[in-house]
A and B are shown apart, each in its own frame.
Chain A
Amino acid sequence: MLFSESVQIAITALLSNKLRSILTMLGIIIGVGAVIAMISIGMGVRQNVTNSIASLGSNMLIVMPGSANSGGVRSAAGSNKKLKYDDALAIKKQIKNIDYVSPTVNSSYQVVNGNQNWNTSVYGVTPEYLHIRSLTVQSGSFITQSDLNSRNRVAVIGTTVATNLFDETNPVGKTIRINNQPYKVIGVLESKGQSSVGQDQDDMVIVPLTTAQERLLGITYIKSINIQVSSADKIEQVQSEVEALLRQRHHITNGKEDDFNVRNLTSLMETMTQTTTMLTLFLGSIAAISLVVGGIGIMNIMMVSVTERTREIGIRKALGATFQNIMMQFLIESVVIGVIGGLLGVACGVGIALAIAESGLFETVITAAPIIISFSFSVGIGLFFGIYPARKAAKLDPIEALRYE
């Protein structure tokens, strides 16, 4: 007997009892729909977290000076004075796969405008800082290379500083005093809000690196170099190249400790990704339970169906149906339930995910993998939970079955 013949018999049987078929499928529909919706939510959360980590600066390496060592007494990390602006320029020039290099210095100062004052962090940066921290200038302009070259007394301020010093008026073009020196405000940054560790990212003043080094701090070293690597899979390679270059530039011989630290944000990213993947799997597996429950529903109905159709089975056997014919008929019936239920479930799950995204409750990400997996799973469940009832049907004794009322 042809396969298509069996499929047709199965579909006829399902159509002859529409309500029951639909109710049976409902278990699978809910299961598959829930798996897809839950995983879309989980993936949405993951994307959200990834994005917010990336906003800290994606693919970022941070070079910090090591601790100063004087006569065996080691000071705090970042306290030595050996990291120079030239190191940053050399990294930029000699190492590939780097988008931006941004050396910085920073310190806290009281910033004054007229009778208003405010204590904040002042950062000495290069123009690349804008890109590396994904900052945008709300009004005015950012620090330029010529500001850097001529050590101009210009400043770009964050919105918190702007509000505290200027209230409602536009600060661009006004002059503020940092450490009693006048600085012209050339720009105000777009608000970035709080960082993921609760730090106000708008409470800052940005000045040219050279101005900060020479006019404010009176130092020749820098406090950190931020490096943005062009892609995530290059981070490790770039990190080791940076380390090698700095060791060479700082004349550190083999066996001696580095006088700097290179850190990356990928480990943070990994932890967060791991956490959200766990969350996704957790949501998905709860949903998968309902899929299995749906499968048990299929088995239940198939058992009833076999009992109900005992006589039909007897007739078919009397007319020459073999074990395999009957087995196929019932197995295909339950697989068809799985296939149709799976398809409707996919539609349902995608619909729910889109609706959730539309409503703005969560971000959802719909990918092919959960759709394919949960659909195959529902077909598999139809197959698995159909085997027992189908065997039961196929093993019926035709004489007994014909006599069944």
Chain B
Amino acid sequence: MNPIIELQGIQKIYHIGGEDFAALAGITLNIEEGEFAALMGPSGSGKSTLMNILGCLDRPTAGSYQLGGKEVAHLNDDELAVVRNQHIGFVFQNFNLLSRITALDNVALPLVYAGVGRKERTERAMDKLKSVGLETWAHHKPNELSGGQRQRVAIARALVNNPHIIMADEPTGNLDTKSTKDIMRLFEELHEDHKTIILVTHEPEIAACATRQLLLSDGKITKDAGKGVVMDVI
């Protein structure tokens, strides 16, 4: 199988107080299509920075990033926006739903920017809401939903434009144990559907669901292990 993500010597250097600080010190990494990778690391290890670069929210200072065979490391803001819209689905720790509009409209939002017509948008969004079991809540606003339900809406939104990759940044960080289990089951189902998933977490039990575990520290990948290995984060 071809790697969907190919990172070559990715660096991210910040200039702080006249000094250079390397948040990412040369990362080389391939992620295959259909992989379920967990990205772990202590705070300050650079995992958020890596996540932002993988999610095309940010550009690396140096290195090459090929997403589905296309070089995206040096695209401009609008080109990156299109890549995010077409290829990447985001799931955030704090859900990041728009509070003013309904669950259905939230799910349909990426399709608005993809230029999909209203009718098709509603159908596809409803379809995804069904797949996360929330069709009865479609016309409720996010603040009328529980945390677990909100995160499922967010997952439906991440899936609606059929992206290549799902980026989940601490998706269970704000959830109780039961909801956490529900959400993780949902991720496992997505994995069985051959979706590529990259999950950032600091909880070993969550990471244990993934088929591959990456440990980041000081801007470098220090461990890269297969399923079932519970890594010591610190």
* Docked-complex contact A402 and B96, CB < 8 angstroms: yes
A:309-323 near B, CB below 8 Å: 311-312, 314-323
* Docked-complex contact B85 and A323, CB < 8 angstroms: no
How many CB-defined contacts (below 8 Å) exist between A and B?
A: 59
CA distance A13 to B98 in the complex (A): 11
* Docked-complex contact A320 and B84, CB < 8 angstroms: yes
* Docked-complex contact B109 and A316, CB < 8 angstroms: yes
* Docked-complex contact B100 and A320, CB < 8 angstroms: no
The A interface, classified by DSSP as helix, strand, loop or mixed, is helix
* Docked-complex contact B115 and A323, CB < 8 angstroms: no
Q: Give the size of the chain A interface in residues (CB under 8 angstroms).
A: 23
A:380-402 near B, CB below 8 Å: 398-399, 402
Residue A168 at the chain B interface, CB threshold 8 Å: no
* Docked-complex contact B96 and A320, CB < 8 angstroms: no
Residue B110 at the chain A interface, CB threshold 8 Å: yes
CA distance A2 to B110 in the complex (A): 14
Inter-chain contacts of A317 with B (CB < 8 A): 81
Given contacts A320-B110, A402-B92, contact A312 B82 (CB under 8 A): no
* Docked-complex contact A1 and B90, CB < 8 angstroms: no
* Docked-complex contact B90 and A318, CB < 8 angstroms: yes
B120 to chain A, nearest CB (A): 13
Q: For residue B95, which residue of chain A has the nearest CB?
A: A315
CA distance A230 to B114 in the complex (A): 68
Inter-chain contacts of A316 with B (CB < 8 A): 109, 113
Residue A233 at the chain B interface, CB threshold 8 Å: no
* Docked-complex contact B100 and A311, CB < 8 angstroms: no
* Docked-complex contact A320 and B85, CB < 8 angstroms: yes
B206 to chain A, nearest CB (A): 21
Q: A318-B84, A322-B77, A399-B52 are in contact. List 19 more A-B contacts (CB 8 A).
A: A1-B112, A1-B113, A16-B100, A311-B96, A312-B98, A316-B109, A318-B55, A318-B57, A320-B81, A320-B84, A320-B85, A321-B113, A322-B81, A322-B82, A323-B77, A323-B78, A323-B81, A399-B57, A399-B58
Residue pairs across A and B with Cβ atoms less than 8 A apart, 23 shown, are A1-B112, A311-B96, A312-B98, A315-B97, A315-B98, A318-B57, A318-B84, A319-B109, A319-B157, A320-B84, A320-B85, A320-B110, A320-B113, A320-B161, A322-B78, A322-B82, A323-B78, A323-B81, A324-B78, A399-B52, A399-B57, A402-B57, A402-B92
Taking Cβ atoms with an 8 Å cutoff, the residues of A that contact B are 1-2, 5, 12-13, 16, 311-312, 314-325, 398-399, 402
